[in-house]
Structure 1
Amino acid sequence: MYCEAGEPGSSERAGDGWHGRSHEPELLYQRARVAAGDERVFVGKLCVVAVLILLGGFAALSGNWLAMAAGFVVLGGVYTHAVELQHQCLHHSAFTAARRHRIAGIPLGIPLLVSYSHYRVRHLQHHKYLGTSQDSEFFGFDTRQPLTFRMLLRGLFDYGRLLVVLREIVRSYRGTWTYDLGPIADHRRRQILSEYRLMGTFIGTAAALSAVGFGEYVLKLWVIPLAVGIPLHFLVELPEHILCDTDTSDVLRNTRSIKGSWFTTWFTNGNNLHVEHHAAMAVPINRLRERHAEVERFGKYVERTYLGFFHRVLSEARRNTKARP
């Protein structure tokens, strides 16, 4: 049973009195290989992305301001959605052949300037070390710190990340790029360097097009949607572990799931079913919904809607902000 945020037992299932579960879930932790049907589902999602980019681009380039604004939002949303599809590729849970994941994953991250291989290394470490002091996600909002409006605004408008990406690109061209969280294989480092150099080529091409008179296209099809996509992506990532138990490796306590609607499940590419994902990270995203009933029964942090979750976040930020001297 779900409760709305703010009611007893809403996000914390049984509040401070949650003491665990009578027995372990049976399906939640089961592994599953990618089947041909799962691959077809993912390819279908890629086709939807292509169609939405065309529609959003057409609207963004129209002369009508209302249509242009809608186009910017659609493109920013699609670029955000693409990173969530890239996230599935990181886990090799989209295609039956492993090598296809990087082929698809690289272009999915280009609009928001996210390196597939760098993200993959860092994100798999996040899965390994979640609930420990070694946990460090690729997108640097620290969910272990007290939540305040200042922290939320800093994460929401984290345009400084673009400067970090530019630094990584420069280091990659110089050959001085290094991984900051431990050793990685030489071939992985070469992949990361090549991807940041590809981003440099993409940015350079955009600059060249702008210089020869196509700046309006670059601005409307990429720059403005990028500015929209960064806060949208933050809102997608925020629910995963914020206000959960940070001192345990138990995925039923350190991670949140949101039942959500068909739209939020599609837009986040199943990121709302995050307990399910962390329990068995290589399971195809389209198969996580069948495991939600067990999360609903055994999970400590489960929400019905995103609206309920954000209500809880704003209430916590308000309380912490008032408590600060």
Structure 2
Amino acid sequence: MAVDRLLPEVEYHPPAGPAVLFTRLKVTAADERVFLGKLAVLAALVCVGAVLALRRDVWAAGAGIVLLAAMFTHAVELQHQCLHHSAFRRALPHRLVGVPLGMPLLVVYSHYRVRHLQHHRYLGTPQDTEFFGFDTRGPLTFRALLRGLLDYPRLGAVAADVVRAATGRWTYAFGQIAPAMRRRIVTEHILLGAAVLGAVVLTVLGHGGYVLRLWMLPLLLAVPLHFLVELPEHLLCDPETTDVLRNTRSIKGNRLSTWFTNGNNLHIEHHAAMTVPINRLGERHEETRAFAVHVERGYADFYRLLWQALRNRPADS
């Protein structure tokens, strides 16, 4: 059976415990306005980053490149909400908005969507297929973390998929998908390829400085930045259970981290009811604190735990 026909929300129902955490909610007009506001903030900050990145002053240009890298990362977190159709009241705008949000970081929306929804369905099982390459179930070593931090081979894999899509050879490697979903994924790979080709043409025409400062350098920085945002979600949790209260982590964070990750810090709340609008997840955090195992106050707390786990790992690992 096609994977994209097997993706209704999977909910965990404990015999006793949270009353609200696993409850679904529909997207309202107010939720939609919140997401549109986030898109407006993203657009404004991208414009500021672009202006700074093109300045002659090296410090201003560096600040602009870093800001663009941060916005590439933030855009993928907004795309993540589109994957779950929890940003708009209708389905169509999610793809229309989600496709361009992922392009700067070379994330193909429909491909990400299929694999990510499989991740939600199969979390805690060998069939888990998280889209980004670092496997939190594997041995925790400095080498593995460094490989995930500098996951530039993923960019080459995307380029290879673009070529396969353009030549009619692209296939899905993690099960069967419906022909319509395959066409969507192929089309979006070709659109990404067209964008890359446009950047190459601009470079050949003598405008490579724009491409370098506005896309290539921010992309190189965004790869490790995105890794650091995603890493806490399931690392150092229990990978052998399907219980979201034990296999996932939430981080309360502050307003800045919650905005930057687009609520991905509240990851237990998200896995418990994945179609709930992201801006509503904070209402459920008190229950998460009461019933879940892995709940941190901030990202600094998680990275301290990670450092301790690395220091205490067996000597032969």
Which structure 2 residues correspond to residues 10-21 of structure 1 after superposition, within 5 A?
Answer: none
What secondary structure does 1:257 align onto?
Answer: strand
Runs of 4+ in 1 over 6 A off after TM superposition: none
Q: How does 1:189-228 map to 2 (within 5 A)?
A: 189-228=182-221
CA RMSD of aligned residues (A): 1.1
Q: How does 1:29-48 map to 2 (within 5 A)?
A: 29-48=22-41
Structure 2 counterpart SS, 1:172: helix
1:70-149 matches, within 5 Å, as 70-149=63-142
Aligned partner of 1:12 in structure 2 is none
Q: Which residue of 1 aligns with 2:316?
A: 324
Q: What is the one-letter code of the residue matched to 2:273? A: A
Q: Deviations over 1:100-132 (max 9, x none)?
A: 100000000000000000000000000000001
State how far apart, in whole Å, the 1-side matches of 2:305 and 2:129 are.
24
Superposition pairs for residues 178-197 of structure 1, below 5 Å? 178-197=171-190
Q: Which amino acid aligns with 2:162?
A: I
CA distance in structure 2 between the aligned counterparts of 1:85 and 1:242, rounded to whole angstroms: 22
Alpha-carbon distance in 2 for matches of 1:284, 1:64: 41
Selected match of 1:171 from 146, 150, 164: 164
Question: What SS is found at the alignment partner of 1:302?
Answer: strand
**Cα displacement (A) at 1:56:** 0.3
Partner of residue 4, structure 2: none
Are the equivalent residues in 2 in contact too, given 1:149–1:318 (CA < 8 A)?
no
What is the CA-CA distance between 1:261 and the residue it aligns to? 0.6
Deviations 1:135-169 (A, max 9, x none): 12000111011211111110001111111001100
1: CA distance, partners of 2:171 / 2:231: 28
Aligned counterpart, 1:151: 144
Once the two structures are superposed, residues 27-73 of structure 1 have per-residue CA deviations (whole angstroms, 9 ceiling, x without a partner) of 00000000000000000000001000100001100011111111111
* 1:71 match: secondary structure: helix
> Where does the alignment leave 5 or more consecutive residues of structure 1 unmatched?
1-20
What is the correspondence of 1:39-58 to structure 2 with a 5 Å cutoff?
39-58=32-51
Q: TM-score, normalised by structure 2?
A: 0.94
Normalised by the length of structure 1, the TM-score is: 0.92
Contact 1:209 1:218 in 2 (8 A): yes
- Residue in 2 that maps onto 1:8: none
**C-alpha displacement at 1:318, in angstroms?**
2.4
Aligned-partner SS, 2:177: coil
Segments of structure 2 that go 5 or more residues without pairing to the other structure are 1-13
Task: Render the CA deviation track for 1:168-217: whole Å, top value 9, x for unaligned.
Answer: 00000111100001100100000000000001100000000000011000
